[in-house]
A = this chain, B = another copy of it.
Amino acid sequence: MKKSLGAKSLLYPTPVFVVGTYDRDGKPNVMTASWGGLCCSTPPCVAVALRKATYSYGNIMDKKAFTINIPSVDSVKQADYFGLVSGKDTDKFAATGLTPVKSDIVDAPYVNEFPLNLECSVLHVVEVGLHIQFIGEIKDIKADASILDEQGHLNIERVKPFLFAPGDRTYYGVGELLRKAFSIGKEIKGE
């Protein structure tokens, strides 16, 4: 039996993005966001939605650039902290000891200690409601050499990302490998 939950922003899983930006004085900032995801293959694009009240919103509007940094499970505490305080009055890099690195491609910093860093330039700004959605074209991805296999490919088990469960307001790790995509479904035959 189905029950109606009403109109809510709720689904599983949502990612944990740490958004990197510079302010007008060139001070690097980071904030955590889970409202977002990939939105295009060609050109490769990622979307992330922020409230106008955030410091990062003004930074992105000003610089037209941001990074999306994927923290590993070792950095849950830092990622959570980045969502608790504002860059208006806090130097979040100084507080955590993490290292901002200036992107060589866009006007935004990435978090050196996080294994995967997407460098994005703003392609679209969509006023959805309380949240404004930034669609960023992914100009390059930087990855820790340690998470690449011998062929230079990424593997999620080396990245060790985590996810946010909105209703539960809880972080979860990635579980076991289930099946290969574009493969297991072939066992079903159409009519």
Decide: A167 and B163 in contact? CB cutoff 8 A: no
Within 8 A of B (CB), among A146-172: 148, 152-156, 159, 161-172
Q: Tell me whether A152 and B3 are in contact in the complex, defined as CB-CB below 8 angstroms, given that A40-B131, A45-B128 are known contacts.
A: yes
CB < 8 Å: which of B8, B126, B141, B161 contacts A8? B141
Contact partners of A123 in chain B: CB under 8 A: 128
The range of chain A's interface size is: 35 or more
Contact partners of A141 in chain B: CB under 8 A: 4-8, 10
Decide: B145 and A156 in contact? CB cutoff 8 A: no
Decide: A179 and B76 in contact? CB cutoff 8 A: yes
Q: Tell me whether A143 and B2 are in contact in the complex, defined as CB-CB below 8 angstroms, given that A41-B131, A181-B164 are known contacts.
A: yes
A60 shortest CB reach to chain B, Å: 15
Tell yes or no: A57 within 8 A of B by CB.
Answer: no
Q: Tell me whether A126 and B126 are in contact in the complex, defined as CB-CB below 8 angstroms, given that A167-B153, A170-B179 are known contacts.
A: yes
A residues contacting B by CB (< 8 A) are 1-15, 34-47, 49, 68, 70, 73, 76-85, 89-92, 94-96, 101, 112, 116-118, 123-124, 126, 128-131, 133, 135, 137-145, 148, 152-156, 159, 161-191
